[in-house]
Chains A and B, each alone.
Chain A
Amino acid sequence: LICHSEEVGSVKGVDVKKLTVALAGNANVGKSVVFNQLTGLHQHVGNWPGKTVKRAEGTLSFNGYTIDVVDLPGIYSLSTFSLEERVSREYIALEHPDALINVVDASSLERNLFFTIQLLELEPHLIIGLNQMDMAEKKGIKIDVQKLSQHLDVPVVPMAAVKNKGLKELMEEVIRLHEKDSDPPNSPSYGIEIETVIKEVVEKIKFEFTYPKRWLAIKLLEGDDEIETLCYSMSPELATTIKELRSRVEALHGHDSASVIASERYTKASRIATTVATLTEPETNIWKRVEELTSHPILGYMIMLAVVFSMFYTIFNFGDFFSGVLSSIFDLLKFSYYQTFGAGTIQTFLWEGLIEGVNAGISIALPYIVPFFLTLSILEDTGYLARVAFLMDSLMHKIGLHGKGFIPLMLGFGCNVPACLGCSIMETERERLICAFVSSLVPCAARSIVIMGLVATYVGFEWAVALYLLDFLLIFLLGRIAYKALPGEPVGLIMEMPTYKNPSTKVTLQRTWFKLKSFIFEAFPIMVIGNLGIFLANSLGILSLVEKIFTPVTVWWLGLPAATGVVLIFGVLRKELTLILLASIMGTTNFALILTPVQMFVFAFVVMIYVPCIATIAVLAKEFGSKAAAVISLTEVILAVVLGGILSRFILIFGII
């Protein structure tokens, strides 16, 4: 964190000067580390207007400037393949940040420069932050920073953001560039044949538009749908010219013009990379060996199982312990509260109606979520999650998702909330939705409590396992149905396999805190309101009415006691509450006295499938809109009820349990 706030406004007595800076770059280049180091705790994450893409923004004070930093999504090109790409190019072209920092991974210069060249075509005030210089050196790559700067005609600042190196220089460069107030650099030129064609298109573009003409010309040749529609609406005669030129390029190079332009860019990137970088023998280290082992066709899976198992084991134990501690603190507080204030209507309302909602969030959700976010952050920063995605790719394809989709599913076992938030790693809206849908069916810690506490304890461990297997089968089938039903083409896996690296403690903690903060701000109010709503409904006697209305479903169809109707409604708040409430309504914790084994199995099944909890619904609504959240919730309720009844009859007819 660079912060000289005391200097703000003191320079020559003028007002604070404001700058807007955007960060752009590939994934895995340490862009978010740069962002976190620059803005520290002064940041907020929202969505791009009307999009499900995260927009992280933060501020810092530096040498008399207040600098607003916008972190653009990590992408590899500026086409319209993903929402992220669209958001980024619109931002750069339309909002004109004072400086655009292209964070570049020094150890993978070629691919990064491919993106740099595309950025330059948009003619921004570009600065290259040449990051991970330390990692590159370990790989035996030495880069001539001066030369790189000359080749591209942009300032280049060497950095190692994880170690907080080079960030001050980067900001100084931003200010220098701003004060110099020169024209943006020219974009690099390609081979002579393609340049002639580009020039021809540029001459044909008569209208003025926010995007640079050269960029429009290149995009038209590449066949970018969005730009085509835009340009052809302004000058329809352009369409025939472009078609003609495209076929000329194709005839000349033997590939379609989009491939030709991509090749030209890569040739350029490759040429620059080879002139500025010298390669020596890399340092040998054990990480290389670990990399091979963790993606090995046999050992890789064994290691993954061990890692995932120990992760869950630790999280559950940690969560269980702290959940217990926090619950007893709350119980103590509750006791002294009623001791001090008495148990009148208002006092009861305050505690049961308002504070209990907070209690649920703090003592049930947080103890599991904090270690979850923390371990996830570490696994992500080290580069292990990419291996998991690699290993699980072929299985995940069966439900129409690729390997990366396994990560949210895995998270779902702890809590569906981070799982649904984690779906943003998928590339397209379609993939994200399928992924969130199946994630919301994963038995989270709360559901596991019901399954374990009821079925495993009273019916038998093998029946608990059967429930899990049933759930996995359902996830598989529903995933497949969603995959067939939703329009669009499934997306294959393609990603960089990052080398392992040590995560920075500061960045990991910061990231965990931000995830936690957004969880608290989003989920807590809903938990409190939900709790209040049910409390009021209960005191007004609506709940017993509901119980009666639900009787046909609960008693006749599912074969459960009538009290389960109310219990299942409360369960929307927290699923483990179903068990706790059932005990308190029935007046015993010995469930064998009140439920038959079949009823237990069916009850646990319904709890497992019917609507995700209120916090998950809230996240779904936020990420995908309230309509999608409602559809998912409703589908799951119908599914739970229909299948629960069938299951109940099936078990009774065959007398299995």
Chain B
Amino acid sequence: MNTKNWQQHSFRAMGSEINLWLETFQPTIAQAAFEQVESLLAENEQVLSRFRSDSELSELNAQTGRWQQVSPLLWDVLLVALGMAAVTNGRFDPTILHALESVGYVMSFELLETAVSHPTFLTSTSINWTHVQLDAKQQAVWLPPGVGLDFGGIAKGYTAQQAVDLLNGVGPCLVDAGGDLVAGAAPTGYLGWPVSIASPWMLSDDLFQLWLADGAMATSGIDYRRWERNGRLAHHIIDPATNQPADTDLLTVTILADNVQEAEVWATAVLVAGQQDGIDMLLNSELAGLLITQSGNMLATPQMDFYLQANSGSHHVFTQRFEEFCKYG
């Protein structure tokens, strides 16, 4: 067993650091595949980014109150987003664009620190994802006036999944899209790709190590993308019920799932829901999840426990409803 055939490539796209791994003994083939992935991300960003005024998403957001035909990519991602909004009972909602803008998240995060002031928007919680209308025959979308779409991690996750599908044609692969991990087949001689769950307090530290193959892992958290606004701490996880930054007792939520869109959305939805409701959501959905509370406790579902190593940290498995559990040390 060795790792010498693991080709690696890094670049920046979609506001994140992208890292690719591909197992092949032919570096030139790997390089060609990596370039295809870079092109894929650039093309998808041009369609799905809300930070680009000339993106297709920005054009759609500017055309509220009327039907607008969209590209197959935007259509597919929108269907995924609305489907996940339904599954999470609106804990995830792609129509929170103006709420994000109202708390100051108006540009790519790395540029936020240089911004002097941000416009403030009035947002209403009475209009949400259920008011978006679709015409499947025309592949057209109608957004209610005052509503804007932000796909959050779904756009990046959808693209990362496409990248894995592309790389899988060459060999076993792993895609790291700014902390969202998507794995293809396991590399030769290993159970999967060796990955870890980073500590929210010290990114260079690993809380747990595990093998990842033919699956995805995503983390949503308020540990990094947060800023100060009008003397108050703001972050990018919006609670659709209030259109304000979620008032949550969780710091990060990590979900393992078959695909990264599902992992990403559930991580966000559980983070918004908070510890008590979040645990119920995960147990009901039988998802593999790791919750880290703001007070430093770590809680894992039985499905997640299957992947974690007991000797690499202190955590607890919850197999009953939240109220049936003791305090965690």
Chains A and B are bound partners: no
A residues whose Cβ falls under 8 Å from a Cβ of B: none
B residues whose Cβ falls under 8 Å from a Cβ of A: none
